[in-house]
Amino acid sequence: MKTRLLIIGIGFLAFGFVIPVSASEINMNIAPLSYFGYYDDHGNKVTKLVVGEEYFIKAKFFWPESHSQPYEFFAEINDYKNHKVIERLFARGMVQPNDDVEVEFSWIPKETGNFRNYSELWATDTFSVITYIPQYDFEVVESTQIQDINYNDFRNTGNPKECWYQENDGTMTPCKIDSTGPGMIIDMGLYIFWPYIILGIILVIIFIVWRKRR
């Protein structure tokens, strides 16, 4: 009985850690990214935002497969210098074969600072990453501070192993995504599968306590 309990606990841990990460690596970047960014109300892509003004987080993907796919797209806005999540935005839907996915969020910054956006497109039926979006850095300032806004084009080479990293000054620098995928995939996998991980840990602890009482 105790051995069976330990095996079940380890099984939940494996399910919580290994399955989402492995599935993400296999399915990553199936849907090519057409564009992603923060846009003002004139349709200009911006990296310097003003407190209290409305902006739009936009993304577009193409689904090339012959079957429909349920998906979830998220945008996580981080104050990365203070290690604080400002806001998480989610959108769910179903994309049809050989069709586009277009997502748009409205967002109004409430505080100044330097921020970083993390986003991914997920398959909700397999809990795996369809497409990884390179991190997007931007600055939020008071209206009196803004003097000039630089607009940058998102660059997509069509290579799923290649991306462009946006520097703090707005310039784009080429980067590579290694075969194991970015660490954010693991973080998102843990976010979805944490109940299984916790249950596995509890079962293992119970087993250890029982062993000590023998």
Residues 6+ apart with CB under 8 A from 139: 47, 48, 49, 113, 114, 115, 168
**Whether residue 107 sits in one domain with residue 71:** yes
Q: How confident is the chain (214 residues) per 10-residue block, as mean pLDDT? A: 57 52 51 93 94 96 93 93 90 94 95 94 90 92 64 48 53 50 54 68 78 70
At 145 the pLDDT is 58
- 39 neighbors 58 (Cβ within 8 angstroms): yes
- 47 neighbors 116 (Cβ within 8 angstroms): no
Residue 189 lies in a domain: no
At 3 the pLDDT is 59
Task: Give Rg (Cα) of the chain.
Answer: 21
* Number of domains composing the chain: 2
Give the pair of three-digit tokens for residue 161: 């192993």
Residue 186 lies in a domain: no
**Whether residue 33 sits in one domain with residue 59:** yes
At 152 the pLDDT is 43
**Whether residue 78 sits in one domain with residue 7:** no
**Whether residue 69 sits in one domain with residue 145:** yes
At 160 the pLDDT is 47
Find the CATH number of the domain harbouring 147.
2.70.50.60
Residue 187 lies in a domain: no
**Whether residue 203 sits in one domain with residue 98:** no
At 127 the pLDDT is 86
d(CA 132, CA 76): 13
The domain of 34 spans: 29-180
**Whether residue 137 sits in one domain with residue 42:** yes
**Whether residue 135 sits in one domain with residue 38:** yes
**Whether residue 34 sits in one domain with residue 16:** no
**Whether residue 199 sits in one domain with residue 99:** no
**Whether residue 116 sits in one domain with residue 139:** yes
Residue 141 lies in a domain: yes
At 53 the pLDDT is 95
Whole-model pTM: value is 0.58
**Whether residue 206 sits in one domain with residue 108:** no
Residue 171 lies in a domain: yes
**Whether residue 149 sits in one domain with residue 125:** yes
Residue 188 lies in a domain: no
Give the pair of three-digit tokens for residue 23: 């599935």
d(CA 119, CA 132): 7
d(CA 29, CA 158): 10
Residue 38 lies in a domain: yes
Rounded to 5 degrees, φ, ψ at 72 are: -135, 130
